[in-house]
Structure 1
Amino acid sequence: MGLLSSLFRTIKVFFAVCLFYFKLGFIYLARWYEPALRTRGNYNHTIIVLGDDHALGVGGYSTIMAGSGVAHKLAREVAKENSIRQSWQIFNRGEYKASTEDWLHPADSKRKERPGLLTNLLQDPKYLKAEIIIIMLGSYDALQKDPSLTPQDTLRNLELICQTLRRSGNENKSIYLCTIPTAGDDTHLSEDKRADNLLRNQLVEAYLSKNTDGVLPGLQIDLAGNFEMKRRNLYWQDDRHFSDIGYAKIAKDLFAVIRSDMVKREFALIRADLGLS
């Protein structure tokens, strides 16, 4: 009887893992079919959401044609808003299990094998046109071992990433940095690691308040900084990644943060076209 129970649990875990990676494959495939919003005149704008699992959309619903994560949900919010008159295309550039070290420019990395995520992004023609960049990154830093990353390392990496993004592509871009999600830390991390994540967010918030690199506050999506993120239905079955409801809430709240920025950019294009700027 015990042998059968053990075999059943093994099979259940096997199929659960297979389903997870099957869904993850759908999320990545969906990035090949990122449709623009319906055209609203001759003016076009670009937003990029980059980061780790939480930017990618792990835990949410996805199909090949529907897209995933915050980028997809944000595009739906933009499409519903009457004050947005022009076309905005929003690209998902989240990467599974990516740390801040994975997103560093190769010259800034401590690794022997240099990371290439940021290099690939900077070479993407879509990035060169991007006017708004949203960063959701840092939740995997507590789990890194080679090299191990302290809260101070995380802040340094985020600063370097933001500085590199600021220097490249569209000179007039806005960069929004979100805090690091902490849901599931009680289950997945030791007490020391949980304390490190709290410190990480404190350092991020202090960096944003100084505004030395012109980086703007995105959303507080950690449990300590935003009590609204404590709702159970915002999270997937692992209690760590956001659910479809969670991504929808983040997109709605994030749109409220960046909407005035988007409207100003649309108005600036119209003024330039009319020769008023």
Structure 2
Amino acid sequence: MNQPHVLILGGTTEARQLASLLSAEDARGGGPGGPPAPRAPGGSAPVPHRLRVTTSLAGRTANPAPLPGELRTGGFPDAGGLSRWLTEHRVAALVDATHPFAARISRHAARASARSGVPLLALRRPGWSAGPGDDWHVVGSPEQAAAVLPGLGRRAFLTVGRTGAAAFAHLDSVWFLIRTLEAPEPPVPPRAEVLLDRGPFTVEAERGLLQRYAIDVLVTKDSGGAATAAKLTAAREAGLPAVVIGRPPVPGGVTVTSSPQEAADWVRARTGRRCTGSA
């Protein structure tokens, strides 16, 4: 029996959770707690009906953690290449679970879905929201963040990813603590220290970081999720302003969910497979 093929455009915690949910489907049945699979003629062993799950990564992280299912690296340069891959590999469902700021691949996914006829779902973690005591300055791009920053502080904690520091490279009046998973791509600000680290981060640790480096302003993207939200709490406690770069919109006409389980259910509905379990 052919296995329905699902392609996950990954690189996020949510993508990993979805791959785990889909790959957890038991070959002997519909998944934990699900009904048993139909038996072959004569009552022999059950007919396997697991999903084939492929996660595609752009390849920007040197040593990604192992993923359930199959792994493809290198990304897709354009919508045409992704559309051809979907057709050639007989993909039944496409899930865009990339980073909320990966706007280009999200546009490619929407166009490739329209061209190939493969249904598309966007899986996005919820964004952050300002609360009582927050001093947020919401902007639309890293360039806009760089424009307002000098009026807010002189020692900035910059957490905008390894490609985002370039927008601040012309600022010589601000000192930066740049935290990224891997070394930032040049150019970078002339007065800066780079801290390579991976979340999740605690409020206590973030509080200590702000104090140790005498930070007086935070600059971040609205990435959402709990792993890196502690810096916002620490900044609020310290009374520091935060420049928050708003996320780009999901392409029009694309269904969006913030739940990996809902994404798994969506895949099930389009492949006729039960996809439940624990990620």
Higher relative contact order (CA 8 A, sep 6+): 2
Q: TM-score, normalised by structure 1?
A: 0.39
Compare the two structures and name the one with the higher strand fraction.
Answer: 2
CA radius of gyration, larger in: 2
Compare the two structures and name the one with the higher helix fraction.
Answer: 1
Q: TM-score, normalised by structure 2?
A: 0.38
